[in-house]
Amino acid sequence: MVFDADAIEVLTFDIFGTVLDWRSTIVEEVSTIGQGLYVQEDWVAFANAWRSMYSFMLGRVNAGQLPWTDLEGLNAAILAQILPDYGLAALDDGERASLSRAWRRLQPWPDTLAALARLRQRYLLAALSNGNMALLAHVSRHAGLGWHAVFSAELVQRYKPDPALYTEAARMLKVDPSRIMMVAAHPSDLLAAQRVGFRTAYVERPSEFDIAHADTVDPMTAFDLVVPDLGALASSLGLS
């Protein structure tokens, strides 16, 4: 697919999985808790269960089967459900709240910070995320990210891949969707952005692929750019 990189003014970033490595921090924090309680479980499976159930819950909110609940609210509810499956039913409220807040303490992928500094030379950089504003603000501070704009699903009370947030971002930025490139590691996110006219850059984060809903898609033909990481995105866009 041919596209004109000079026409792009704005890059919108998925945060959890694309910019940040959520899994390492969650696994690390829950294993520390497990060790303290002499519980041995597959903590990667725990992290994956937490994350995949939340994808399911977002869908229920978008379908109107659940009232609007922000991502931190959903994460806390899911945590309460899965703790018993992993031998952690005994955690008290404070311990549960602290583990939920691990989502505010995620680390960037190793390529993230340097790449964002390069991309910032030319593009308007915006977060476009299902995280609520408090979560995005805290995790950005913790990971050392700085944005020109932050678009949270909280603003439209609809979760990606519903079209509302992409459309609202374009409207608020007063930019034609064709001048915005969505950057994400999840095909479902990019397909939704593409449907409202955004350009798309697929970032290959291998550990993210299994939770994508659209793995019947071939990224090489479906998206404008396919890159192994954000540094390669900057290079693909011609930035030194």
Q: Which residues bind a second copy (CB under 8 A)?
A: 72, 120, 123-126, 132-134, 136-138, 140-141, 144-150, 154-155, 172-175
Phi, psi of 204 (to 5 degrees): -80, 100
Residue placing its CB nearer to a second copy in the complex, 18 or 208 = 18
- DSSP character at residue 85: G
Report in angstroms how near the CB of residue 167 gets to a second copy at its nearest.
14
Report in angstroms how near the CB of residue 174 gets to a second copy at its nearest.
4
* DSSP class per residue in 172-217: HHT--GGGEEEEES-HHHHHHHHHTT-EEEEE--HHHHTT-S-TTS
Residue placing its CB nearer to a second copy in the complex, 46 or 123 = 123
Report in angstroms how near the CB of residue 68 gets to a second copy at its nearest.
14
Residue placing its CB nearer to a second copy in the complex, 145 or 203 = 145
Report in angstroms how near the CB of residue 10 gets to a second copy at its nearest.
8
Distance CA 221, CA 218 (A): 6
Distance CA 8, CA 11 (A): 8
Distance CA 202, CA 182 (A): 8
Residue with token string 């505010």 = 104
Specify the pairing of strand 20-21 against strand 107-108: antiparallel
Angle between helices 93-100 and 22-36 (to 10 degrees): 160
Residue placing its CB nearer to a second copy in the complex, 72 or 189 = 72
Residue placing its CB nearer to a second copy in the complex, 20 or 136 = 136
Report in angstroms how near the CB of residue 127 gets to a second copy at its nearest.
10
Residue placing its CB nearer to a second copy in the complex, 44 or 155 = 155
Distance CA 18, CA 112 (A): 9
Distance CA 198, CA 140 (A): 24
Report in angstroms how near the CB of residue 170 gets to a second copy at its nearest.
10
Residue with token string 């311990």 = 95
